[in-house]
Structure 1
Amino acid sequence: MKLLKTLLASAVAVSAMPALAYEAGDIIVKAGIVNVNPKEDSGIDGVTVGDDTQLGLTLTYMVAPQVGVEVLAATPFKHGVYAGGERIATTKHLPPTVSAQYYLMDPASKLQPYVGLGVNHTFFFDEDGVDHLGKSWGLSYSAGLNYDLGNNLLANAAVWKIDIDSELNGSGTDVEIDPLVFMVGAGMKF
């Protein structure tokens, strides 16, 4: 019985601890594993683009307690391009994305779900088997969740839907990559 009372008192004490409490001017830095998973159909019959996982970073500046501006960056992603099950090309790309975010809960909540709308600029390089993929500008939509771990630390999970459309070899043939991007990581509020 004494153990149960101790555990109950500890749970009450932890729940009474102050949460992260976002404020205007806060900076939130997060790092984690990011997977870019292109849609199944590239826009060219029988051609698909493989997924890749890399290190991702986000930096968010809180302009108000429930509004932030986020920059998503990552190490370069390398994708195989496949036709008939055979790899016919590879390419690397960087997809930096800037988003406005709205945090749905009270700024003092330990759980902070958010949604975002942004702009993505993707550029391709180190292409093999592809003469040239053009740069891409597109919209991005995001949703995520921060959870306060205490001492200004947080756990994070997020997803983005990004519009990445490129032109193949200046030919007028559009390649639609349009990936879902997933991130799981941790961060710190400054």
Structure 2
Amino acid sequence: MKRSSSALLFSLFAISGGAHAQSANQWMLNAGWIHLAPQDSSQPLTVNALGASSTVPGSGAAVSDADTFAITATYFVTDHIAVETLLGVPPKLQLSGTGSLAALGNLGSARVWSPAILAQYHFGEPTARLRPYVGAGVTYVWFKNIELNSPIATGQFLASPTLGAKLEGPTSVSLSSSLAPIVNAGLTYNVNSHWSVGVSVSYAWLSTRATLTTRSSLGTVTSSTKLKIDPIVSFVSVGYRF
């Protein structure tokens, strides 16, 4: 009877000790909500028209915050080192004018695609209920579903005291793609052997060049600016480990 009791206690101890393990060769899937808070800035708009180039003094643009749903897949190479990939529903970023362009209001919107891969180091023992981590990686970013509001789509932003509306016309835009480095830090709370909740904060050095092409009555006009987005990304999620 004593031997049976001892065996039972040992089994319970072994189960409880490994109940929260995040160890080598395990996968963890997390799903949750992402909030992007751009730490944005922009260069003044440069306009190339009639063989000359000029800068619009005090012109700028700002990017709004955005929210979306995301999924991460994490593979533990060792008890402490993991590789994580992130995919999400592309959030819609709104762009508004600032400075001398503030009167134009909302300039347009675009959806941003940004799959990412990161290497992480998880602190503490694999059996710990609470495990902080840090990571670094890279994301490839491109923009789709770009929409321009009327002041930009019609070229009204090119109106001038000297030429009036002669430089205005149908306008299209392209946003450059880029690789952006990321750093992140987070915390995982292991509820049981499979389920967990997590929070993380990431920062990405992200910029894009916006090029506007206007077909005016005097010829093609190109306008461009470099926009830094540099978002702080917060992620709250529920995870399943197997």
| TM-score, length basis structure 2 | 0.68
Letter in 2 for 1:97: A
CA distance in 1, matches of 2:43, 2:196: 39
**Residue matched to 1:32:** 32
| Cα RMSD, aligned residues only | 1.9
CA distance in 2, matches of 1:137, 1:66: 27
Q: Give the length in aligned residue pairs.
A: 176
Query: Do the aligned partners of residues 144 and 122 (structure 1) sit closer, same or farther apart at CA in structure 2, a change above 3 Å counting?
Result: same
Alpha-carbon shift at residue 43 of structure 1 (Å): 4.4
Alpha-carbon shift at residue 89 of structure 1 (Å): 1.1
Pairing 1:142–2:141 present: no
Alpha-carbon shift at residue 172 of structure 1 (Å): 6.1
CA distance in 1, matches of 2:43, 2:23: 44
Secondary structure of the residue that 2:24 maps to in structure 1?
A: coil
Letter in 2 for 1:135: S
Alpha-carbon shift at residue 139 of structure 1 (Å): 0.5
**Residue matched to 1:95:** 114
Alpha-carbon shift at residue 65 of structure 1 (Å): 0.4
**Residue matched to 1:116:** 135
Runs of at least 5 residues in structure 2 that lack an aligned partner in the other structure: 1-11, 45-58, 149-171, 213-222
Summarize deviations over 1:45-86 as a string: whole Å, max 9, x none: 431001111111110011000000000111011011011271
Query: Do the aligned partners of residues 128 and 58 (structure 1) sit closer, same or farther apart at CA in structure 2, a change above 3 Å counting?
Result: same
Alpha-carbon shift at residue 40 of structure 1 (Å): 3.9
| TM-score, length basis structure 1 | 0.86
Query: Do the aligned partners of residues 150 and 101 (structure 1) sit closer, same or farther apart at CA in structure 2, a change above 3 Å counting?
Result: same
Secondary structure of the residue that 2:25 maps to in structure 1?
A: coil
CA distance in 2, matches of 1:46, 1:174: 10
**Residue matched to 2:66:** 52
CA contact (8 A) 1:120 1:163 kept: no
Larger radius of gyration: 2
Query: Do the aligned partners of residues 102 and 123 (structure 1) sit closer, same or farther apart at CA in structure 2, a change above 3 Å counting?
Result: same
Secondary structure of the residue that 2:173 maps to in structure 1?
A: coil
Runs of at least 5 residues in structure 1 that lack an aligned partner in the other structure: 1-12
